[in-house]
Structure 1
Amino acid sequence: MASLNLSILDLVPVRSGQTSAQAVAASLSLAARADELGYARYWFAEHHNMPAVASTTPPVLAAAAAARTTRIRVGSGGVMLPNHSPLVVAEQFAALEALAPGRVDLGIGRAPGSDPVITQLLRMSGTTSDVERFPQHVADIRALASPQGATVEFTSGGTYDIHATPAATGAPQVWLLGSSDYSAQLAAASGLPYVFANHFSGEGLERALALYREQYRPSEEHPEPVTFLTANVVAAETEEEARARALPQVRTMARLRGGLPLRALETVEQAAEAEATDRLAAPVIEKMSERWFIGTGPDVRSRLEAFAAAHGVDEVMISPVAGSFDAEPLDATPGRTRTVELLAG
């Protein structure tokens, strides 16, 4: 991979006519290919009740990916912590660490990952869903998942030891994720690695990185700030093919931002036919194209290297968003796989 490390963020996209089982199978095949090509890490996002996204449970998907790979780091990008009990998260990722020692990442965010109805259903767990307690819950997970475990002190006196797993010899690496200043500042104060969700919109990237680096307090695990960038990417043999494969995802983003009903990801042909009449992507495609990386392999690779250098990082996590043609198999994503292959060099 030369001087630039590449990683992958997977939302497990679901295209028109595809089942969840087929979408997951395609993603696991992609994880195996990324492992062969030398990618650094493979993360699954957490989103709920979205017809085009099957990544609802990062720990389950990461465990499946770990079983299909040998060296690549696997994990979450991220677990939306207010939806879950800190102890449950710690137990899940302690188990993952036992399955794949030394190659598990626990990326944590504080956004809901869905609409208000689903958020309410996910957060029917009492005080653990209190967003204001997010910093304490992050600290709790770090302690619980460590080999030392954590200790509860009772107000009436006495203590109670808790371990996420009985005999841990290591712990997942914790990352804070976010798209605002909040997580950047919390990561800095906690001495934790941090990732800005640049693939969402990119707005505020420079400020978030500056705050993180300027306010960083060294920790034992991380004496220096640790960060990388995320980006939506489509690479193909030709510029024309890359733009065609990008259109289904661009149209989905346009629907999301326009408050329109969501649906399974269109195929390339379906997207082109619909765009010719409804022009759904037209108002946003130029702005998105400025921040997305779409083109031939060498062109995209060059632009990613320049992007990383401009922000002082040596790793970029790509979200390969290439759509599929009608004739392509339902249990594979050739466009995403080819993107990953072309960028590996």
Structure 2
Amino acid sequence: MSRSAYPALSVLDLVPVRTGQTSAQAVAASLDVVRQADELGYRRYWFAEHHNMPAVASTTPPVLIAAAAARSSRIRVGSGGVMLPNHSPLVVAEQFAALEALAPGRIDLGIGRAPGSDPVITQLLRQSGTTSDVDRFPDHIRDILSLVSTDGATVRFTSGGTYDVHATPAAVGAPELWLLGSSDYSAQLAASLGLPYVFANHFSGEGLERALDLYRGGYRPSEAHPEPRTFLTINAVAAATAEEAEERALPQLRMMARLRTGKPLTALETVEQARTALAAEADAQAEAIMTAARRRWLVGTGADVRSQVAEFAAKYEVDEVMISPVAGAFDGEPMDVATGRLGTLELLAA
């Protein structure tokens, strides 16, 4: 395969937490992945927002982005994404304007409309009286675009008069805003606002082609983005052998099955724990979910997965693919190093 035919690669990270691992170790492992992704030439590195999940430590993307920016020099770092209904638009704008000042020209603000957690956590996040209700999502996107711009935003009072608001003083640049989603809604909204868009293909893959058609076909050029701009996410595991890759995929596949069947969530199993549990259980529904998910994942040797990545990008006409490296760990592997995830990124970048 020629290098020119290979898409640019990026990384999506949920900061997975495995059995016996502390949050500090999980974060340290992910920041080590950031450093190496920067050295390997990956284009961007995004952190997702999820809450109250034993296997996921990416609860606060802005904090992780700041740490990632400090440990890298070239790669773009950002959110994949911030779940806007959980937050005040002004707070999001201020956080990412500050990040842009910290790492000028390297910050992406990916925004989603889903809450990213269960109803209890959603209410706790909104307890302070945030105005970010889902129905006003398009207005809040426009607000953030204005607030992070160098000109800032203007509040107009019904009684007359105006009030200028800036996310940060003396800004000379702004984070790049992307709309994220897994439905027609976000694709159409991104098209109407002339914004870059990413379909969350790593989550389910259902509706991908329709979402891309809606986005590209309905795109309204904006000054910042005269052409539609998109890339795709995909779950991937690459290893020295196909057998090892399949084994490393098993813990995340089992976690997805637990999530979809409503079973209590736990820290991510090791490969050995997942194999033992799978052999002891007889759950046809979970097995069907795992089989369906596995068909959409890219799993195999480095050469095999690189070929699949290139075919995937060509099929959907994108020049960038964001890899969610879902490789699990074996017993005995260091807690503060993501051996399987690092191996995946190294093999795919080769």
- With structure 1 as the length reference, what TM-score do the two structures score? 0.99
Distance 2:46 2:26 in 1: 16
1:54 alignment counterpart: 57
Choose from 226, 230, 233 the match for 2:233.
Answer: 230
Structure 2 matches for 1:85-234, cutoff 5 A?
A: 85-126=88-129, 128-234=131-237
Partner of 1:261: 264
1-side partners of 2:180 and 2:127: how far apart? Answer: 23
Distance across 2 between alignment mates of 1:268 and 1:12: 17
Q: Which residue of 1 aligns with 2:298?
A: 293
Give the alignment's Cα RMSD to 1 decimal.
0.9
Shift in Å, 1:56: 0.3
**1:338 corresponds to which residue?**
343
What's the counterpart of residue 72 of structure 1? Answer: 75
Q: Which runs of 5+ in 2 are unaligned?
A: none
| In 2: Cα distance, 1:78 partner to 1:182 partner | 16
Counterpart residue identity of residue 86, structure 1: P
Letter in 1 for 2:12: L
C-alpha separation between the residues in 2 aligned to 1:192 and 1:128?
Answer: 23
Decide whether the 8 Å contact of 1:35 with 1:71 is kept in 2: yes
CA gap 1:117/1:34 in 2 versus in 1, 3 angstroms = same
> Are the counterparts in 1 of residues 253 and 294 from structure 2 also a CA contact under 8 Å?
no
Partner amino acid for 2:233? T
Asked if 1 retains the 8 angstrom alpha-carbon contact of 2:148 and 2:167, the reply is yes
Aligned partner (choices 326, 334, 337) of residue 331 of structure 2: 326
Partner of 1:6: 9
Residue from 235, 241, 245 that aligns with 1:242: 245
- Structure 1 residue 127: Cα displacement: 5.3
Question: What secondary structure does 2:155 align onto?
Answer: strand
Distance in structure 2 (CA, Å) of the matches to 1:120 and 1:39: 36
Query: Does the CA-based 8 Å contact 1:196-1:205 persist in structure 2?
Result: yes
Q: Which amino acid aligns with 1:18?
A: Q
Q: Distance in 1 between matches of 2:55 and 2:130?
A: 31
- CA distance in 1 between counterparts of 2:307 and 2:166 reads 46
CA distance in 2 between partners of 1:248 and 1:290 (Å):
16
How far apart in 1 are the matches of 2:300 and 2:258? Answer: 23
State the distance in 2 between where 1:247 and 1:219 align: 43
Matches of 1:162 and 1:224 in 2, distance apart? Answer: 30
- 1:267–1:325 Cα contact (<8 Å) kept: yes
Which string of whole-angstrom CA distances, capped at 9 and with x for unpartnered residues, describes residues 298-318 of structure 1? 100100110110001010001
Q: What SS does the aligned partner of 1:128 have?
A: coil
Q: Distance in 2 between matches of 1:332 and 1:19?
A: 12
Which 5+ residue runs of structure 1 have no aligned equivalent? none
Alpha-carbon distance in structure 1 between the residues aligned to 2:250 and 2:130: 42
For 2:321, the equivalent position in structure 1 comes to 316
Q: Measure how far apart 1:279 and its partner are.
A: 4.3
1: distance between equivalents of 2:116 and 2:133?
Answer: 15
- 1:93-113 CA distances to partner (integer Å, 9 max, x unpaired)? 000000100010000001000
Q: Which amino acid aligns with 1:156?
A: S
Amino acid aligned to 1:115: D
Deviations 1:265-311 (A, max 9, x none): 00010000100011455222221121100100010010011011000
Q: How many correspondences in the alignment?
A: 345
Check the 8 A contact 1:85/1:125 in 2, yes or no: no
- Tell me the amino acid that sits aligned with residue 320 of structure 2: E
Q: TM-score, normalised by structure 2?
A: 0.97
Tell me how far 1:68 sits from its aligned partner.
0.2
What letter is aligned with 1:254?
A: A
3-state SS of the aligned residue for 1:195? strand
Q: The residue matched to 2:179 in structure 1 has which SS?
A: strand
* Counterpart contact for 2:87–2:130, Cα < 8 Å: no
Q: Percent identity?
A: 75
Q: Which residue of 1 aligns with 2:39?
A: 36
Deviates more, 1:195-204 or 1:117-126: 117-126
Assess if the C-alpha contact under 8 Å between 1:10 and 1:44 holds in 2: yes
Task: Give SS of 2:243's match.
Answer: helix
CA distance in 1, matches of 2:173, 2:164: 18
